[in-house]
Amino acid sequence: MAAAGGTGTKTYSFKVVLLGEGCVGKTSLVLRYCENKFNDKHITTLQASFLTKKLNITGKRVNLAIWDTAGQERFHALGPIYYRDSNGAILVYDITDEDSFQKVKNWVKELRKMLGNEICLCIVGNKIDLDKDRHVSVEEAESYAESVGAKHYHTSAKLNKGIEELFLDLCKRMMETAQAEERLKGNGASQSASSRRGVQIVDDEPQATPAGGCCSSG
Amino acid sequence: MSQRTERRGIHVDQSDLLCKKGCGYYGNAAWQGLCSKCWREEYQRVRQKQIQDDWALAEKLQREEEAAYASSHGAQAQSHSQTAVPQLHPGHASLGAFSKFEEKKTNEKTRKVTTVKKFFSPSSRTPPKKDTQEGRTPSPSISRHASFETDQVSKEFVEFLKNLQKPGREIHKQCRAFIMNMSSKKELSADELSECVQDFYQNMADRLMSHFKGSSESVERVMDQVEKYIMTRLYKSVFCPESTDDERKDLATQKRIRALHWVTIQMLCVSMDEEIPEVSEDVVKAITDIIEMDSKRVPRDKLGCITRCSKHIFSAIRITRNEPASADDFLPALIYIVLKANPPRLQSNIQYITRFCNPSRLMTGEDGYYFTNLCCAVAFIEKLDAQSLNLSPEEFQRYMSGQASPRLHSSEGDWPQSGVTAANPVLAQLNHNLERLSLVSSRQQMLMEAAQSMQADLLSWPEGVQREVSGVLEKYPLQILPRTVSAMDANNADSDGPPPLLTAQVFAG
Ligand SMILES: Nc1nc2c(ncn2[C@@H]2O[C@H](COP(=O)(O)OP(=O)(O)O)[C@@H](O)[C@H]2O)c(=O)[nH]1
Ligand SMILES: [Mg+2]
Ligand SMILES: [Zn+2]
């Protein structure tokens, strides 16, 4: 799904999942980004679970689809169904809540294991307006992000800080990844075959190996 | 208290659900109480003839369709007649952009399985049954109506392609060839069928993409029509195919959902307040939509049902909470709706959409998001345990075995919450109903009393009137005074005073 090819202007379609513990501000972040509202009773959108945004980055059109995920612990096992085929993941924690940062670390491990390096990871420390109650140190968070090949951002949905930058930066990185992939696959025809269904594709033996093919994707 | 009375809802005897032939599988009312296998056997002979008729009709229609197409494109067809001789093989298509069609297909022979399919069909990779007599027989559910629908779709497709001019003819040809090709591949497994269709979509989309110079909106528009046309025709043979265990999974899920009848809206922490009439209306609509999914043949139409269901859920949440629903609200609500609806052939439908839907719809689009949530809901229901409902393992076990039912907290019924919380919803309902009955009965008694006193009043009233009238008559008997007609006439003519009759009355009163 990364790139819709063709000779004219390309339109990139990206899927980004929002992951993180409940109450860290996932919904607030997207509503701020897509509707520019915070804790507003007059929000017109019927739902905040699937939102889209159209961007134009250096002359390329980007359709961004932001998928909210159910953050309750009992739904944790459903993660893989949500984040499969994602181009990016935004892992949110609350800077005043140490636990929520630990949850982010768990997500990173799981994502890297399941999706490898093809997914662009963003670790986001939200609620920086509450800096006086900070429980996760900036250095620790940033060095952790670097160690796992993720980028770190500081945001406040309340004050509308750092959010535009976060999404713009993520889109640019996803475009680079998609372009690198295109170059790798050569141009034109064969590119489309691999981006088919725009998903992480697992090569299988033709039909020689029977059944049992339910093993994890390396 | 008796355990028997604790079951909620309509009690259905297990034996009523089983196949009438006693083979042990579940029967279905649509199959006259038989399971799909027995139904197939039972009706194969009868249907064989109809199937042949249908094929004849389909072929006839096909000829008409092509004739119609040719005549509507007379000019173009002529200008192409030197190069585009009627072809039997799709590989020799003439239009530049489409010419590498078959070639590409062979390049992609290496099987690639997406994680999507891996997740949902670990066992669908089992090789197809080789022993199926004379290949796959079309499902007996085909009917005249279905044929008619297919005809309609074909006509609409031709109409749509007319607007595309040149490539329209080529698209039509490719689709026709593909369908013919597929009908000759009866022995393929579900995954292979899916691969074929997905390859076809991909190749078609690529060709269209270069034709439309990268305008993905135009490509999508055509692809939607292609999907509709192809899948309407293939539906019979590729929905819940015998080579898979889709049907077994359907039955397992159906049974599982039935066993979870006791799960309440509170256990799932759903933010929908069904006591609000608009919310309960939305809930009903959401249930209807998700059930309707099974009746659609085109993957995208099935997706449409899921999307409509989801929108009703959002509306219900919005009304209840007065804020836009997040995934935290939506998923539990969807799970609740699925549990309430127990949609027919849920697994088959999910598999069918996964295998045969145009991928761009499924992957990034809004429909895809709702579909993914439905997949999550089903996965959750399958794995659901005590912990996922915040229950103790013992409680969970008791509810599952039907030994006990959870207490009713609120909003599960349409009566207002009373102070007394009965041990189980049936008793609560019973108490409530009794209360209401006694209230109604006392009101009825009051009504009866009032009616009786009114009746008495009514009966006594004429008597009273009669008595009064006769009293008056007795008191003032009527006296007729003698008078002369001529005198009256004279008086009338000359005097200002009252006429004699009135005078007499005045005297009398
Ligand atoms: N002070 C502050 N509060 C925030 C911020 N973002 C979200 N919140 C609050 O945190 C709570 C949870 O936010 P929500 O977006 O629902 O979190 P989610 O559960 O992760 O989707 C709400 O009360 C928000 O108002 C922020 O940047 N600063
Ligand atoms: Mg949220
Ligand atoms: Zn049977």
Q: Pick the atom of ligand 1 nearest to A161's CA.
A: 27
User: Cα–Cα distance between A93 and A29 in angstroms, integer?
Assistant: 11
Beta carbons of A24 and A92 less than 8 angstroms apart: yes
Q: Which domains does chain A have, with CATH numbers?
A: 11-179 (3.40.50.300)
Structure tokens at A64: 């961004």
Which residue has a Cα nearest atom 9 of ligand 1? A25
Residue A196 touches chain B, beta carbons under 8 Å: yes
Structure tokens at B128: 């197809």
Q: What is the DSSP string of chain A?
A: --EE-SSS--EEEEEEEEE--TTSSHHHHHHHHHH--SS-TT---SBSSEEEEEEEETTEEEEEEEEE---SGGGGGGHHHHHTT-SEEEEEEETT-HHHHHHHHHHHHHHHHHHGGGSEEEEEEE-GGGGGG--S-HHHHHHHHHHTT-EEEE-BTTTTBSHHHHHHHHHHHHHHHHHHHHHHT-STHHHHHHTGGGS-EEE--SSSS-S-TTS---
Beta carbons of B334 and B374 less than 8 angstroms apart: yes
Which residue has a Cα nearest atom 14 of ligand 1? A25
- A108 or B19, which is more confident: A108
Q: Pick the atom of ligand 1 nearest to A155's CA.
A: 27
User: Cα–Cα distance between B137 and B51 in angstroms, integer?
Assistant: 9
User: Cβ contact (<8 Å) for A65 and B364?
Assistant: yes
Residue B435 vs residues B7, B430, B440: alpha-carbon distances, Å: 21, 9, 9
User: Cα–Cα distance between A112 and A162 in angstroms, integer?
Assistant: 25
The interface pTM score, or ipTM, of the predicted complex is 0.84
Q: Is the pLDDT of residue B223 over 90?
A: yes
Residue B130 touches chain A, beta carbons under 8 Å: no
Please state the pTM of the whole predicted model.
0.67
* A201-203 vs B112-114, strand pairing mode: antiparallel
For a substitution probing ligand 1, which of A28, A34, A41 has the most ligand atoms within 8 Å of its CB? A28
Residue A13 touches chain B, beta carbons under 8 Å: yes
SS3 B13: coil
CB-based neighbours (< 5 A) of ligand 2, an ion: A 26-27; B 326, 328
DSSP state of B233: H
Cα A127 to ligand 1 centroid, rounded to whole Å: 7
Q: Which residues contact B287 (CB under 8 A, 6 or more apart)?
A: B309, B337, B340, B341
Residue by residue, pLDDT tens for chain A (218 residues) are 444 444 446 789 999 999 999 999 999 999 999 999 898 877 778 899 999 999 999 999 999 999 999 989 999 999 999 999 899 999 999 999 999 999 999 999 999 999 988 899 999 999 999 999 999 999 999 999 999 999 999 999 999 999 999 999 999 999 999 999 888 876 544 434 334 433 333 333 333 333 333 333 33
User: Cβ contact (<8 Å) for B376 and A70?
Assistant: yes
User: Cα–Cα distance between A164 and A124 in angstroms, integer?
Assistant: 13
Q: How does pLDDT run across B280-319, given as a tens digit for each residue? A: 999 999 999 999 999 999 999 999 999 999 999 999 999 9
* Residue that has been written with the tokens 């290496």 in this structure: B110
Q: Does the beta carbon of A199 sit less than 6 angstroms from any atom of ligand 1?
A: no
Q: Does the beta carbon of A125 sit less than 6 angstroms from any atom of ligand 1?
A: no
User: Cβ contact (<8 Å) for B123 and A211?
Assistant: yes
Mean pLDDT in chain B?
Answer: 76
User: Cβ contact (<8 Å) for A1 and B387?
Assistant: no
Beta carbons of A87 and A14 less than 8 angstroms apart: yes
Q: List the end-to-end C-alpha distance of chain B, in Å, as a whole number.
A: 82
Beta carbons of B305 and B352 less than 8 angstroms apart: no
Residue A27 touches chain B, beta carbons under 8 Å: yes
DSSP state of B499: P
Of B305, B316, B310, residue with least CA distance to B270? B316
Cα B348 to ligand 2 centroid, rounded to whole Å: 31
User: Cβ contact (<8 Å) for B376 and A63?
Assistant: no
